[in-house]
Amino acid sequence: MTKQWLTFTEQIKAHYKQDFVPLHEPTFSEKELEYVTDCVKTGWVSSVGAYVTRFEEELAKFVGVKRAIAVMNGTAALHIALKVAGVKPNDEVLMPSLTFIATANAVSYIQAIPHFVDVSEITLGIDSEKLEQYLLEIGDFKGNELLNKKTNRVIRAVVPMHTFGHAVEIDALQKVCEKFNLILIEDAAESLGSYYKGKHTGSFGKVSAVSFNGNKIITTGGGGAVLTDDEELADYAKHITTTAKIPHRWQYEHDEIGYNYRMPNINAAIGCAQLEKVSQFVNQKRQLTHFYEGLLQDLDGVRLFKEPKHSTSNYWLQTLILDELYTRDEVLALLNDNGVMSRPIWTPMHYLKPYENCPKADMLITERFNNKIINIPSTPVNEG
């Protein structure tokens, strides 16, 4: 095993022209500096400013939704998306167990309960057929609300996540949502620049969330956004992310418990510069996939995860799927020991202490797959 893998690490380091290749680094140029300098010079660094509005407008346009509300991180965006979409305390919210913990945490913040379901090995996102079967089994309509027969709680919403930038079968999920009267909320944190049948991810749900954390395809330092086509929900999201203050020239009137979640202008300035380059980053990442594909022809027992049929993916994180030849941790040790930073996929939510007692479906694919998935360096490479 070792020799082939060592060659693999050498080829990656040569490609990046680095002795140590990080998993994912932000790519900045003069534009970010220019916009940030503008903020500092004008004094508009904080919670209000022209870059926030500009970033929101350009983001909404890029995704193809009516409105975007910029907030301080993707988790906050998910929290607000769930709240304005109508998830209430004690509701159950269906989501993949194979996700980053933020998806489950955001549900917990509104005293709702994550309910974990299995993924498809084609998309690594929620398996809609399996979900439908499962809901037929455990669900029971009371009026127009779907009750979980086992817990007697209302199942309110589904939160699919587009894993590593690969779109889930979202139109099949939409049908399941219609059939069972569930709200669709997308966790599109990883999928800016990814499309399903030509339509941008994050534009299918009633409300969606994206992230601009330092390791995402574009970054604002830390940041996120709530996306929606519903003007009323958008206004409400803006209102509660800005302390629910009623606009007034001097008076402090707040009409409910709000959040101080807004994105500072200085972060939005970075976001404006980054957004100008998102298509370039996507192209570079798709090139990187070709590069890795070439390398993998010489490696047995491993394959590159490729975009599913209807997805045009941003390939945010490049993904290896190992077969029985290796254990995940021996490959991780070899790569990390030889200057190629690599990470396993997240520990499934139903294994984690805060979520081990949550309701869940059978996890056949999640359990078969999670210890075979590795992410390898994915920073866009500047050719030339």
Ligand X SMILES: *Cc1c(COP(=O)(O)O)cnc(C)c1O
Q: Following DSSP, what letter does each residue of 159-216 receive, concatenated?
A: --B-GGGPPP-HHHHHHHHHHHT-EEEEE-TT-TT-EETTEETTSSSSEEEEE--TTS
CB nearer ligand X, residue 221 or residue 377: 221
Per rule CB under 6 A, is residue 211 in the interface with ligand X? yes
Per rule CB under 6 A, is residue 359 in the interface with ligand X? no
CA angle 71, 74, 76 (to 5 degrees): 60
- Which one of residues 99, 148, 208, 318 is an interface residue with ligand X (CB under 6 A)? 99
CB nearer ligand X, residue 148 or residue 221: 221
Taking residue 55's Cβ as centre, other Cβ atoms within 10 Å add up to 29
- Which one of residues 80, 112, 126, 161 is an interface residue with ligand X (CB under 6 A)? 161
Per rule CB under 6 A, is residue 314 in the interface with ligand X? no
Distance from C-alpha of 271 to C-alpha of 217, rounded to nearest angstrom? 11
Cβ-proximal residue to ligand X, closest one: 74
- Which one of residues 27, 75, 97, 338 is an interface residue with ligand X (CB under 6 A)? 75
Distance from C-alpha of 213 to C-alpha of 115, rounded to nearest angstrom? 26
CA angle 85, 86, 88 (to 5 degrees): 140
- Which one of residues 16, 35, 51, 100 is an interface residue with ligand X (CB under 6 A)? 100
Per rule CB under 6 A, is residue 91 in the interface with ligand X? no
Query: What minimum distance in Å lies between the beta carbon of 73 and ligand X?
Result: 4
Query: What minimum distance in Å lies between the beta carbon of 39 and ligand X?
Result: 21
Asked whether the beta carbons of 45 and 321 are under 8 A apart, the reply is no
Q: For residue 26, what are its two tokens?
A: 């932000």
Angle in degrees, 0-180, between the axes of helices 170-180 and 128-138, rounded to the nearest 10: 10
Query: What minimum distance in Å lies between the beta carbon of 212 and ligand X?
Result: 7
- Which one of residues 12, 35, 69, 74 is an interface residue with ligand X (CB under 6 A)? 74
CB nearer ligand X, residue 189 or residue 269: 189
Per rule CB under 6 A, is residue 213 in the interface with ligand X? yes
Length of the chain: 384
Query: What minimum distance in Å lies between the beta carbon of 357 and ligand X?
Result: 22
How many residues interact with ligand X (rule CB under 6 A)? Answer: 15
Span interacting with ligand X, options 184-192, 199-207, 229-237, 242-250, rule CB under 6 A = 184-192
Place of tokens 């001097």: 250
Per rule CB under 6 A, is residue 224 in the interface with ligand X? yes
CB nearer ligand X, residue 105 or residue 371: 105
Per rule CB under 6 A, is residue 82 in the interface with ligand X? no
At 259, which amino acid appears? Y
Asked whether the beta carbons of 217 and 194 are under 8 A apart, the reply is no
Asked whether the CA dihedral 180, 109, 47, 30 is positive or negative, the reply is: negative
Q: Residues interacting with ligand X, by CB under 6 A? A: 73-75, 78, 99-100, 102-103, 161, 187, 189-190, 211, 213, 224
